[in-house]
Structure 1
Amino acid sequence: MDLAKAEEFIEQEEGAANKFRGAIAVFITLAAVAMSAFHLYTAYAIVPTQTLRYIHVAFVLFLCFLVFPIAQRYRHRIMWWDWVAALLAVAIAAYAIYGGDDFTDRNTSPEKWDVVFGIALIVLVMEAMRRTNGWIMPVITGAFIVYALAGPWLPAPWTHKGYEIPRLVGVMYMTLEGIFGPAVDVSSSLIILFTIFGAFLQYSQAGKFYIDFSFSAMGGKPTGAGRTVVLASFLLGGPSGSGVATTVTLGSVAYPMLAKVGYEKNAAGGLLAAGGLGAIISPPVLGAAAFLIAEFLKISYIDVLLMATIPTLLFYFALFLMVEIDARKFGMGNVVFEKVEGVWSLTRKYWFHFLSLVSIVVFMMWGFSPVLSVFWATVVSLVTSLLRRDTTLIPYDLFTAPGPMWRKLLDMPFTKAMEGGSIGMLNVGATCAGAGIIVGVVTLTGLGLKFSTIVIDYAGGSLLLTAIFTSLVVWIVGLAVPVTASYIICAVIAAPALIKLGVPGFAAHMFIFYYAVLSEVSPPTALSPFAAAAITGGDPYKTTMQCWKYTVPAFLVPFMFVLDTSGQGLLLMGSAKALAAANWWSIAEVTITAAIGIASLAAGFQGWALRKTTPTERVLFIAAGFALVYPTLLADLVGITLAVVAVAMQYLRRAAVDAPLPSKET
């Protein structure tokens, strides 16, 4: 297993960070801890929104230029230009905060130094994105800036009046509509708090407990290896929201077990990547894009969690079905694994890790805001970690162990968690700042409405074709950029097309979110499958195709959100308030038909149900699945009929094979 290669894919998602020693390492640690401490403070105290956003971006850029090198050959050292860029980022934020209301009021006619600092900020943001995420996002962002400047010279229907550099800088730097807009608002108030929470769970050994618990609960049966991956990916991914990190963490432990029961390299890698993908769509975190959904729709985060509940269950239902089919298809037998402790023994010792997992939702249900909920969940994680010596974030022997106190304070898990919480979100923070430029341009030029008109015209006003075109746009954008950036770009340019055709905003945004998630398993940025292939030794592209096999059934479900009103039942009607007045039978009906559709697609894609399918049965299963994904009564009846026919054909063939041979007696 090439863990070093797998780590490279994590670096592609999170940036290739420098590794320091000595005084520089101490300084970086202190700066990252200060960033986490500041944001934990703002979760509980009142800090003006504008001040919070400017300081947040300053912290992100400052650490980005120190932690991520300008080029590979400068890794593990800080050059003079890194210091200049880092300090300039701080100066830009300080200038804006010191300017106060006078600074923001003159955004339509900025002064010379406003323009100078504004241009510098745009350049720094684009360079930070390049260092953490590669060239694609800066190039896309630059294209949007060119679009804003070159409006009068563009062909119809893309033409607009155009904006001069001072006006563009005024929006991007001096208002809360550009760089410091909704994406940075979410990054500064929610995303960083959740990454701190995830780091607290990681350093309190919660991840190890979730894997051990899954192994103990699921091992020993033919399907035990696959089930272990599915359950462990849910438990690991829910708090982290990172697909690649979940894939690598789980794969390094679970791959030998998958190989032992009979998974070939590419299939094992595909299953591991599919499990990692679930991290981005699973409560309580759902990845950074989920917080942006709440911000764009102006709804509570618990409503987003509510909407994700049934789709998440359907996703893991599809994975469990695939695992069950694998066991029969590949003839997997019972294998004795080296067992960890029993389920009850583990639960008795480490029950508090489950408390950490559900505490966020519990606090939100008690009426706390999402920001306060994750703050108190982090406190719960810290306090409960103290219950055992092997999980404590603050060592029992902190004051009695030998060595200088400053070194013990720097090395304790609490400090590492505070540092990891900030460092772990730098790539997302830079992406959110850059996405703010894109959102600002779209708002300024009206590009979203233009694009939606073009899409609807090409679709001839058909909702089905518009949904297909929108999913393709989101998927294509997702080929080149991370999930968060893909969602932000498409939320402002593609969602209006669906909304214009009568799709509720919450359904349109969830549709886009789920297709943005496909970027995790789509070349050339199929980071999760590529990381899994590095661990299993499989072929990256074959592993990607296997991952698609495992996930495609569940990813057709989002079409149900937008094609018919009844499909919104899968999102529990979009809010707790709407759910209270909803028709529960309608929700149950659409959920059951979706589950049957997923089962049919799983059988069709795997080529196996009760037994190996014939070509005719396979076509019937796939056709049934597609029909059941279209949420109308006629489509449901057709789909169920096709599925019943296919199962009946399988049953009759099995009965014929199992029938006793005729007697030879005369």
Structure 2
Amino acid sequence: MAHMSESSTPPAAAIPAAVSEEALKKAEAYIEEEEGAANRMTGRIAGFLTLVAVIMSLFHLYAAYAIVPTQTLRPVHVGFVLFLSFLIFPVSRRFRHRIMWWDWLAALLSIAVIVYALMGGDDFSDRNTMPDPLDIVCGALLMLLVLEAMRRTAGWIMPVVTVCFILYALFGAYLPQPWTHKGYALGRLVGQMYMTLEGIFGVAVDVSSSLIILFTIFGAFLQYSNAGKFYIDFSFSAMGGKPTGAGRTVVLASFLLGGPSGSGVATTVTLGSVAWPMLAKVGYERNAAGGLLAAGGLGAIISPPVLGAAAFLIAEFLKISYLDVLLMAAIPTILFYLALFLMVEIDARKYGMGNTVFEKVDSVWNLTRRYWFHFVSLISIVVFMMMGYSPVLSVFWATIVTFLVSFLDPECSLLPYSLFRGRGSVLGQIVNSKLVKALEAGSVGVLNVAATCAGAGIIVGVVTLTGLGLKFSSIVIDYAGGSLLLTAVYTALVVWIVGLAVPVTASYIICAVITAPALIKLGVPDFAAHMFIFYYAVLSEVSPPTALSPFAASAITGGDPYKTTMQCWKYTVPAFLLPFMFVLDPSGQGLLLMGSTKALAAANWWSIAQVTLTAAAGITALAAGFQGWMFLRTTAVERTMLLVSGFALVYPGTLSDLLGFGLLVATVAMQQLRMRRVLA
């Protein structure tokens, strides 16, 4: 059976005992590319920034429980975000780790324009179609500040895209058909963006201020209570000791880590620093290991209970509960991880991995017995939602639960035990506690997403003002000749291309308002159209030039960034063909559990099971086809049969299903016959 190995296990000298500091620094650079290159301050300035960040977190926790009017919450949220962004993120790397006078000026101007809007009351919003000169100055200034905050936290691309939309609103009258519109004066545009809840303070900032920040606080509480370490140790103990143990550990740990964090790059780096030596030991070459780590990190964005920030926007756009979004994500998430597990199983055969036994941190039983409460924290959000609490209250109480259960173990406690024994300075212990660090991390962690949401609000405001969404959908449908399949393909390409330039959240927002109408016009239910766009926005996370997760993984493994990206595509593409199933045929919507809890109660469970099994079979065929391996290395004919089978099973319809199953069964039979010959 030696001939089955595609690449030999690396020599002991090539196996890293641990990830080097240099590799971790390179990986952190990719996190900074996604989340901004933050200043690291010391002394009183650091204390001041910590204080502001803690106040921001406490304010949003208060707003989750008490009643803060929308007209107050959204501007205050943007004010906090801009103030901290200008002080924490430098104007350029050259001025890093110090705050310049212009940073203070921008931060104070941010507060001034927000206070001006809040002090204006109802009169301020009522005159949005005919703003005063001072309104226009403050509004234009706020738009510039949002653009600069986006540039500092997420790079140049999103501000440039936003400026293009602003220019489209101002000079649309000079464009050719079908893009032309009457054009809007600066005052009218500023009124829409600054003085209503349909621009900067629109849906995206609403979700950022009421949900996303609460989930980042929740994730920070989990991180500082050592939940992340427990999830990795648990996965390692549960999956170690078998040929596929290393790969399975990555898949399980990425689900447990990614579920609460919702960040692909952060999950990739956190997991990669621990798992890369283990993957190298069993025989993964650098690019394949990086691809698997990045694919696992990508699962963080589509995994309940948090998903990515875009999932909260889906609930807001569709006016459905967040629990409905979790239900819609449940089966696609299972199928995504099924694809990864299948790839890992194939890897074990393909790379000729032996029974490498790892020294476990501890037994699964001992770990669970001591740290079981971390699972309570993880599932508490869904439990609260099922009890009828709103998503905002659910994450608020889940954060409280995480805080309380942390005291069950001294290592995990967010406040030191000595505080309750009357030892040392009370204030000093609180200031230096994990609780304060978690509250600070919760606010700082949301800055790049919140700044992007504010900028995306400008884009949504322009689309609403100019009717661009309807124009664009008509153009797409015309190009597709009214074909739903071609419209879906064009929509996926548009989402993917937009996603090459901007983060997942911004990609989803832009495409939800300009491409979803095309699918909905052709009879696709709105929930299926939005989930289709969400999944392809997520896929852009592993597509150059913004393939930050694979690039971060390659920094850890020492692989080639672009080869690692292609490996990541190999691992993820089978699952990402699934969205076509739930837009091309009504039966495929069963994968989304019909989109609502009411419909779910009356759903045809046999139909859901049938489409899920068909999807699983399609994923299996595609996984084997892309890997070029099933039980043995596939021949060219077998590989072609598997790929055709996979595509046929993903495309809904009785004939395509029969073709797909027929080819899959035939390929399995051919492989089994060859296996018998080899064994004989």
Q: Quick check: TM above 0.5?
A: yes
Give the equivalent residue in structure 1 for 2:150.
Answer: 129
Q: Does 2:514 match 1:514? A: no
1:388 aligns with one of 409, 415, 431: 409
Deviations 1:312-350 (A, max 9, x none): 000000000000000011110111212111000000000
Give the equivalent residue in structure 1 for 2:469.
Answer: 448
1:575 aligns with one of 584, 593, 596: 596
Q: Does 2:378 match 1:357? A: yes
Q: Does 2:260 match 1:224? A: no
Deviation at 1:150, TM superposition (A): 0.5
Deviation at 1:153, TM superposition (A): 0.4
Give the equivalent residue in structure 1 for 2:42.
Answer: 21
Q: Does 2:89 match 1:71? A: no
Measure the CA separation in 1 of the matches of 2:592 and 2:339: 18
Deviations 1:227-273 (A, max 9, x none): 00000000000000000000000000000000000000000000000
Give the equivalent residue in structure 1 for 2:327.
Answer: 306
Deviation at 1:656, TM superposition (A): 2.5
Give the equivalent residue in structure 1 for 2:14.
Answer: none
Q: Is the CA contact (8 Å cut-off) linking 1:204 and 1:385 kept in structure 2?
A: yes
Q: Is the CA contact (8 Å cut-off) linking 2:157 and 2:502 kept in structure 1?
A: yes
Measure the CA separation in 1 of the matches of 2:369 and 2:76: 43
Aligned AA for 2:77? Answer: H
Aligned AA for 1:573? Answer: M
Deviation at 1:405, TM superposition (A): 4.3
Give the equivalent residue in structure 2 for 1:271.
Answer: 292
Give the equivalent residue in structure 2 for 1:120.
Answer: 141
1:543 aligns with one of 561, 564, 571: 564
Measure the CA separation in 2 of the matches of 1:538 and 1:404: 49
Question: Residues 97-108 of structure 1 correspond to what in structure 2 (within 5 A)?
Answer: 97-108=118-129
Give the equivalent residue in structure 1 for 2:8.
Answer: none
Measure the CA separation in 2 of the matches of 1:483 and 1:410: 35
Q: Is the CA contact (8 Å cut-off) linking 1:399 and 1:405 kept in structure 2?
A: no
Q: Does 2:643 match 1:643? A: no
Deviations 1:128-177 (A, max 9, x none): 00000000000000000000001110000000000000000000000000
Question: Residues 286-301 of structure 1 correspond to what in structure 2 (within 5 A)?
Answer: 286-301=307-322
Give the equivalent residue in structure 1 for 2:71.
Answer: 50
Give the equivalent residue in structure 1 for 2:400.
Answer: 379
Q: Is the CA contact (8 Å cut-off) linking 2:200 and 2:458 kept in structure 1?
A: yes
> For structure 2, which runs of at least 5 residues remain unmatched after alignment?
1-18
Question: Residues 157-168 of structure 1 correspond to what in structure 2 (within 5 A)?
Answer: 157-168=178-189
Give the equivalent residue in structure 2 for 1:206.
Answer: 227
Measure the CA separation in 2 of the matches of 1:65 and 1:122: 14
Aligned AA for 2:107? Answer: A
Give the equivalent residue in structure 2 for 1:189.
Answer: 210
Deviation at 1:652, TM superposition (A): 1.5
Q: Is the CA contact (8 Å cut-off) linking 1:566 and 1:590 kept in structure 2?
A: yes
Question: Residues 241-640 of structure 1 correspond to what in structure 2 (within 5 A)?
Answer: 241-398=262-419, 404-640=425-661
Of 402-411 and 522-531, deviating more is 402-411
Identity across matched positions, percent: 77
Aligned AA for 1:613? Answer: T
How much is the aligned-residue C-alpha RMSD, in angstroms?
0.9
| SS of residue paired to 1:393 | coil
Deviation at 1:400, TM superposition (A): 5.9
Deviation at 1:645, TM superposition (A): 1.1
Deviation at 1:484, TM superposition (A): 0.3
Deviation at 1:634, TM superposition (A): 1.2
Deviations 1:174-202 (A, max 9, x none): 00000000000000000000000000000
Q: Is the CA contact (8 Å cut-off) linking 1:241 and 1:288 kept in structure 2?
A: yes
Deviation at 1:633, TM superposition (A): 1.2
Q: Is the CA contact (8 Å cut-off) linking 1:220 and 1:336 kept in structure 2?
A: yes
Give the equivalent residue in structure 2 for 1:664.
Answer: none
Measure the CA separation in 2 of the matches of 1:416 and 1:270: 32
Give the equivalent residue in structure 1 for 2:6.
Answer: none
Give the equivalent residue in structure 1 for 2:13.
Answer: none
Measure the CA separation in 1 of the matches of 2:663 and 2:359: 44
Deviations 1:571-616 (A, max 9, x none): 0000111111111100000000000000000000001111110000
Measure the CA separation in 2 of the matches of 1:587 and 1:53: 40
Measure the CA separation in 1 of the matches of 2:289 and 2:343: 12
Measure the CA separation in 1 of the matches of 2:189 and 2:424: 55
Aligned AA for 1:88? Answer: L
TM-score between the two structures when normalised by the length of structure 2: 0.96
Measure the CA separation in 1 of the matches of 2:264 and 2:422: 38
Q: Does 2:136 match 1:83? A: no
TM-score between the two structures when normalised by the length of structure 1: 0.98
Deviations 1:18-60 (A, max 9, x none): 0000000000000000000000000000111010001000000
Deviation at 1:403, TM superposition (A): 6.1
Measure the CA separation in 2 of the matches of 1:398 and 1:131: 39
Measure the CA separation in 2 of the matches of 1:406 and 1:61: 29
Measure the CA separation in 1 of the matches of 2:631 and 2:308: 36
| SS of residue paired to 2:276 | helix
Aligned AA for 2:66? Answer: A
Measure the CA separation in 1 of the matches of 2:170 and 2:422: 62
Q: Is the CA contact (8 Å cut-off) linking 2:416 and 2:429 kept in structure 1?
A: no
Deviations 1:452-501 (A, max 9, x none): 00000000000000000000000000001100000000000011110010
Measure the CA separation in 2 of the matches of 1:217 and 1:625: 31
Q: Is the CA contact (8 Å cut-off) linking 1:149 and 1:162 kept in structure 2?
A: yes
Give the equivalent residue in structure 2 for 1:177.
Answer: 198
Aligned AA for 1:203? Answer: Y
Measure the CA separation in 2 of the matches of 1:513 and 1:246: 19
Deviation at 1:444, TM superposition (A): 0.4
Aligned AA for 1:527? Answer: L
Aligned AA for 2:290? Answer: G
Aligned AA for 1:301? Answer: Y
Aligned AA for 1:21? Answer: T
Deviation at 1:404, TM superposition (A): 4.9
Measure the CA separation in 2 of the matches of 1:625 and 1:509: 24
| SS of residue paired to 1:450 | helix
Q: Is the CA contact (8 Å cut-off) linking 1:172 and 1:440 kept in structure 2?
A: yes
Q: Does 2:130 match 1:109? A: yes
Q: Is the CA contact (8 Å cut-off) linking 1:321 and 1:599 kept in structure 2?
A: yes
Measure the CA separation in 2 of the matches of 1:65 and 1:59: 10
Deviations 1:286-328 (A, max 9, x none): 1100000000000000000000000000000000000000001
Deviation at 1:95, TM superposition (A): 0.7
Aligned CA distance change for structure 1 residues 363 and 528 (closer, same or farther; 3 Å) = same
> For structure 1, which runs of at least 5 residues remain unmatched after alignment?
660-666
Measure the CA separation in 1 of the matches of 2:384 and 2:598: 18
Give the equivalent residue in structure 2 for 1:662.
Answer: none
Deviations 1:516-557 (A, max 9, x none): 001210000000000000000000000000000000000000
Q: Is the CA contact (8 Å cut-off) linking 2:179 and 2:471 kept in structure 1?
A: yes
1:234 aligns with one of 252, 255, 259: 255
Deviation at 1:648, TM superposition (A): 1.1
Deviation at 1:508, TM superposition (A): 0.2
Q: Is the CA contact (8 Å cut-off) linking 1:13 and 1:133 kept in structure 2?
A: yes
